[in-house]
Amino acid sequence: MSPRFRSVLDRFQAYKPGKTAVSADGRSYKLSSNESPHGPLPSVLTAIASAAATVNRYPDNGCTELIAEIAGHFGVPEDHVAVGNGSVVVAAHLFEAVSEPGAEVVYAWRSFEAYPLLAALAGAEPVQVPLKADETHDLAAMLAAITPATRMVIVCNPNNPTGEVVRRDELIAFLDRVPKDVLVVLDEAYREYIRDEDVPDGLTLYRDRPNVAVLRTFSKAYGLAGLRVGFLIAHPTIAEAIRKVYLPFSVSSIAQAAAVAALKAEDELTTRVEETVKERERVGHALRDQGWTVVPSQGNFVWLRLGDRTVDFAEACERDGVSVRPFAGEGVRISIGSVEDNNALLAAAAAYPHRV
Ligand code: PMP
């Protein structure tokens, strides 16, 4: 007899670590997880080292300094901010905070792969609305999917893994039509990479909308993926709900200190983000020149919808030491890395026989 678990667990598989690809001649380029290709800035390393000296103590459970720094940085009141152990955990808390048996959560699909898991764990019913043929959110269909049981709607902007965006007018029209008792989460994990001026900053939208929450992370542009810090900005009723379910001490003292230092190093980080944006455009153009179909991306990644050839293409890249992220039967997401990483990817793509 084994212990009885919730049947919903049968829908999922335990995480199996992917192997980082290494070519026969020892080259390795990791373009599978949308990380920053840059190591931490010296000022961030100093903050980490000094926080390391007090790890015999618990971290500040209120993340006071970090919340104050985020509030100051983004020009919002402190009671509009909640932090968590990565934005995926903040998202998990949002699911938990709104879900009751029968609760529905609407989001586009394909999108961030954690959403179905978070819905299931929270006991919510995921309502997945297919992306349009051009890889953009089908906001009309998402509106139509809202029922009296809907508690939350997520708009991932830009969308992971396609990189496509929802623009200002359509997003505002959408927000205006979502019932006010439904929480709308704008997942802006890749906000810093957006250069399309028609894409609104969620922080300009949530102010007049007490049912809108903006989700951000230190894992991408701020380069702290390994430390796990994410945050939410929303009206106090939402921020407080998330603070209530904050698991004690879940953001470590080292992570808090590094995030504060990263916010203070905005100028250096902006330069790095600018390099990634330039590389994104270069990689996109080069892939199109090679004959691939690449939708415009506003994230730190590009998307190739390869259907049946997805896994084959990913394996070909791996043989050249390039790790990409395949979604079997759908497509491949390729993170933008250093110039050298990206050149390796472009060489692997050029050598691949079947372009689309
Ligand atoms: N949202 C989106 C859209 C993402 O792509 C990711 C990470 N891949 C996250 C949230 C979670 O990021 P983290 O937990 O590292 O903050």
Whole-prediction pTM: 0.97
Q: Is the dihedral of CA 333, 336, 342, 344 positive or negative?
A: negative
> 3: CA distance to ligand 1 center in Å?
32
Per DSSP, 128 falls in state E
- The first and second tokens of residue 9, run together, are 């667990």
Q: Alpha-carbon distance 135 to 97, whole Å?
A: 30
| Residues near ligand 1 (Cβ within 6 A) | 34, 86-88, 112, 156, 160, 187, 189, 217, 219, 225, 230
Please tell me whether residues 68 and 25 are part of one structural domain. no
Please tell me whether residues 253 and 279 are part of one structural domain. no
Q: What's the pLDDT score for residue 184?
A: 98
Domain count, the chain: 2
> 214: CA distance to ligand 1 center in Å?
13
**In terms of C-beta density within 10 A (0-12 exposed, 13-18 middle, 19 or more buried), how is residue 166 classed?**
buried
CATH number at residue 15: 3.90.1150.10
* Cα radius of gyration (the chain): 20
Per DSSP, 135 falls in state S
Residue-wise pLDDT tens for the chain (356 aa)? 889 999 988 889 888 877 789 999 999 999 999 999 999 999 999 999 999 999 999 999 999 999 999 999 999 999 999 999 999 999 999 999 999 999 999 999 999 999 999 999 999 999 999 999 999 999 999 999 999 999 999 999 999 999 999 999 999 999 999 999 999 999 999 999 999 999 999 999 999 999 999 999 999 999 999 999 999 999 999 999 999 999 999 999 999 999 999 999 999 999 999 999 999 999 999 999 999 999 999 999 999 999 999 999 999 999 999 999 999 999 999 999 999 999 999 999 999 986 65
Tell me, what amino acid is at 353?
P
Please tell me whether residues 207 and 311 are part of one structural domain. no
- The first and second tokens of residue 253, run together, are 């003292």
Per DSSP, 8 falls in state G
Q: What's the pLDDT score for residue 338?
A: 98
Please tell me whether residues 33 and 58 are part of one structural domain. no
> 224: CA distance to ligand 1 center in Å?
12
Q: What's the pLDDT score for residue 19?
A: 78
Please tell me whether residues 341 and 291 are part of one structural domain. yes
Instruction: Report H helices in the chain.
Output: 42-52, 64-74, 87-98, 114-122, 139-145, 168-177, 202-205, 236-244, 253-264, 266-290, 310-319, 339-351
Mutate which of 88, 118, 155 for ligand 1 pocket (most atoms within 8 A of beta carbon):
88
Q: What's the pLDDT score for residue 1?
A: 83
Return the ligand 1 atom nearest residue 217 CA: 16
Q: Is residue 1 part of a domain?
A: no
Predicted complex ipTM: 0.99
Q: Is residue 356 part of a domain?
A: no
Q: Read out DSSP for 202-239?
A: HHHHSTT-TTEEEEEESSSTT--GGG--EEEEE-HHHH
> 12: CA distance to ligand 1 center in Å?
19
Peptide bond into 353 cis (omega under 30): no
Return the ligand 1 atom nearest residue 87 CA: 16
Q: What's the pLDDT score for residue 192?
A: 98
Q: State the residue range of the domain holding 289.
A: 7-40+266-351
Return the ligand 1 atom nearest residue 156 CA: 3
Per DSSP, 259 falls in state H
> 87: CA distance to ligand 1 center in Å?
6
Mutate which of 160, 162, 193 for ligand 1 pocket (most atoms within 8 A of beta carbon):
160
Q: What's the pLDDT score for residue 356?
A: 57
> 26: CA distance to ligand 1 center in Å?
30
